[in-house]
């Protein structure tokens, strides 16, 4: 997996950042190994540079709703400050 700074700037990343800045949801889908995680890490890095908090929640290998809840809680607890 590439580090965000090692990959090229893609228009999709800029569009995802615009959607996030506007408070909109987006769905990103592609086959395995097509760079989805790398793209999302780029978006998170760009968002951080704009003082926009963000989290990446990896839901691979979850087996239950409780697993999903635990991963979401862990990710949101890692946010800086008092974000609710």
Q: What is the pLDDT along the chain (84 residues), one digit of tens a residue?
A: 666 566 666 788 899 999 999 999 888 889 989 888 889 999 999 999 999 988 899 888 999 999 999 999 999 888 877 765
Q: Answer yes or no: pTM beyond 0.85.
A: no
Tell me the CA distances in angstroms from 50 to 18, 21, 43, 59, one per residue in order: 11, 10, 11, 26
Question: Rounded distance, CA 67 to CA 22, Å?
Answer: 29
């Amino acid at each position: 997996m590439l580090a965000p700074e090692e990959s090229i700037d893609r228009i999709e990343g800029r569009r995802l950042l615009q959607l996030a800045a506007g408070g909109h949801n987006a769905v990103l889908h592609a086959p395995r190994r097509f760079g989805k995680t790398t793209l999302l890490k780029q978006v998170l890095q760009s968002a951080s540079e704009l003082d926009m908090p963000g989290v990446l929640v990896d839901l691979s290998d979850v087996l239950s709703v409780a697993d999903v809840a635990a991963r979401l809680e862990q990710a949101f607890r890692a946010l800086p400050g008092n974000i609710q």
